[in-house]
Chain A
């Protein structure tokens, strides 16, 4: 199976990333001050990241920014799904986020027949539990959500209590790469925009597979980079640079392509593997998020939240750039664990 392309600086410093190796080979000797500053900025960034650790960084990012997001965008921390033909107004965004969940379930062919609804759901990277609560209500299922952020887990639980769902949904602080659940426990395994945080995509999908019951549906909605063409070994240098900046702000360890996910699923003998590019269906989202940051409420909340949130906000135009360049692909991958 092809090695996954490492597009972002590794959070531990054991060995150089292929991205940095690429930069070293291609760069001509140039003693300019700008280059020296960039080098020392990069090395201090890498040192800082190594010290902090990826998981801690993700937890702190969401501890800090979750409340801000919720106050403006509500309980769903994921893209909305939009028609490509009609322009979207601000009032459409919350219903678009709910539509994203429904479209993912439909794409995965989760049955409409209530006798075949999932009964036990795991929400991997659950945020403040928007998907967990929605799936619990929709299917009457028991949902377990896991997140690295204690603040998110607490908020998720509080919202569940407020909605009268404390008997159906539970949240834990846990690692998606080491889930504290037994093998084969869940009949719906759900990962909505958390895959991009996983440093080891193989381990990520392996764990999703492990906790899936025979016949269970696995749904992954995540940010990928474009598939490489036959003649390519890696993304272009400017593409890697762009993704690196995004990785830095959002605590993303690496990107892979939709084909990489398909290959991993195949290697795990998963069945009915399907994937789609929904980039056009999420296009209105980032411009809307940027617009919300420029409201008075958004701006003040951002300043209050802290540097990690501000950095995340500053990088939002790069997400739009990535989509416009067809570099970033909003991807769904669904499959089934064999019976």
Chain B
């Protein structure tokens, strides 16, 4: 699971008011090189919840991202490279996504999050 994906997943447990962002627990992760595409990064930036991305990248030990970011930083190649790395090149293989309100754990196995709810949670 890339952090780009983490940035769009939320808890849909019944009664949860704000299920985003899910807290990331990562026991295993890998880094895979991805072609750098500045245009893509600039177009996706407005859709990214930066605090969630920052928090997730800290969890997997990537500390190079600034704690806050704004569109002016997209002019900086250095910033774009760090953004690119955090968003697309870190793959969480094993771990969990945790609902911020209920603590409900959605497991990540072999890179695939399982977001299915049980009948009593729907």
Encoded as 1 (CB less than 8 Å from any A CB) or 0, chain B from 78 to 107 comes to: 000000000010010000000000000010
Q: Which of B110, B111, B115 contacts A174 (CB 8 A)?
A: B115
With A153-B112, A167-B35, A181-B10 already in contact, the answer to whether A172 and B122 are too (CB < 8 A) is no
Q: Give the segment of B1-9, B54-62, B64-72 that binds chain A.
A: B1-9
Q: Which of A55, A150, A167, A178 contacts B12 (CB 8 A)?
A: A178
Task: Determine the distance from Cα of A182 to Cα of B5 in the docked complex, in whole angstroms.
Answer: 12
Task: Determine the distance from Cα of A153 to Cα of B11 in the docked complex, in whole angstroms.
Answer: 19
Shortest CB-to-CB span from A271 to chain B, Å, is 23
Task: Determine the distance from Cα of A120 to Cα of B40 in the docked complex, in whole angstroms.
Answer: 12
Q: How many residues of A contact B (CB 8 A)?
A: 26
Does A175 count as interface, using CB distance less than 8 angstroms? yes
Q: Which of B1, B8, B110 contacts A185 (CB 8 A)?
A: B8
Task: Determine the distance from Cα of A182 to Cα of B11 in the docked complex, in whole angstroms.
Answer: 10
Does A194 count as interface, using CB distance less than 8 angstroms? no
Q: Which of A120, A166, A171, A182 contacts B10 (CB 8 A)?
A: A182
- A154 and B110 form a contact (CB under 8 A): yes
Does B73 count as interface, using CB distance less than 8 angstroms? no
- A172 and B114 form a contact (CB under 8 A): yes
- A172 and B88 form a contact (CB under 8 A): no
Shortest CB-to-CB span from B108 to chain A, Å, is 10
Query: Smallest CB-CB separation from A53: which chain B residue?
Result: B119
Does A144 count as interface, using CB distance less than 8 angstroms? yes
Task: Determine the distance from Cα of A159 to Cα of B88 in the docked complex, in whole angstroms.
Answer: 18
Task: Determine the distance from Cα of A186 to Cα of B76 in the docked complex, in whole angstroms.
Answer: 28
Does A157 count as interface, using CB distance less than 8 angstroms? yes
List of B residues within 8 angstroms of A142 by Cβ: 4, 44
Most buried by B among A55, A172, A173, A182: A172
Q: Which of B12, B34, B91, B116 contacts A173 (CB 8 A)?
A: B116
Query: Smallest CB-CB separation from A213: which chain B residue?
Result: B47
Shortest CB-to-CB span from B21 to chain A, Å, is 10
Task: Determine the distance from Cα of A170 to Cα of B92 in the docked complex, in whole angstroms.
Answer: 12
List of B residues within 8 angstroms of A181 by Cβ: 8-10
Query: Smallest CB-CB separation from A156: which chain B residue?
Result: B112
Task: Determine the distance from Cα of A335 to Cα of B119 in the docked complex, in whole angstroms.
Answer: 31
List of B residues within 8 angstroms of A170 by Cβ: 1-2, 4-5
- A167 and B88 form a contact (CB under 8 A): yes
Q: Which of A119, A146, A178 contacts B122 (CB 8 A)?
A: A178
List of A residues within 8 angstroms of B12 by Cβ: 178-180
List of B residues within 8 angstroms of A150 by Cβ: 109, 112, 114
Task: Determine the distance from Cα of A148 to Cα of B117 in the docked complex, in whole angstroms.
Answer: 11
Query: Smallest CB-CB separation from B49: which chain A residue?
Result: A182
- 10 nearest interchain CB pairs? A174-B115, A180-B115, A173-B114, A167-B34, A170-B5, A153-B112, A178-B12, A180-B9, A172-B113, A167-B88
B-side residues, CB < 8 A to A, are: 1-2, 4-5, 8-12, 20, 32, 34-35, 43-44, 47, 88, 91, 106, 109-117, 119, 122
A-side residues, CB < 8 A to B, are: 53, 55, 119-120, 142, 144, 146, 148, 150, 153-154, 157, 166-167, 170-175, 178-182, 185
A-B contact pairs, 10 of them (CB 8 A): A144-B8, A154-B110, A157-B110, A167-B2, A167-B35, A175-B116, A179-B12, A180-B12, A182-B8, A182-B10
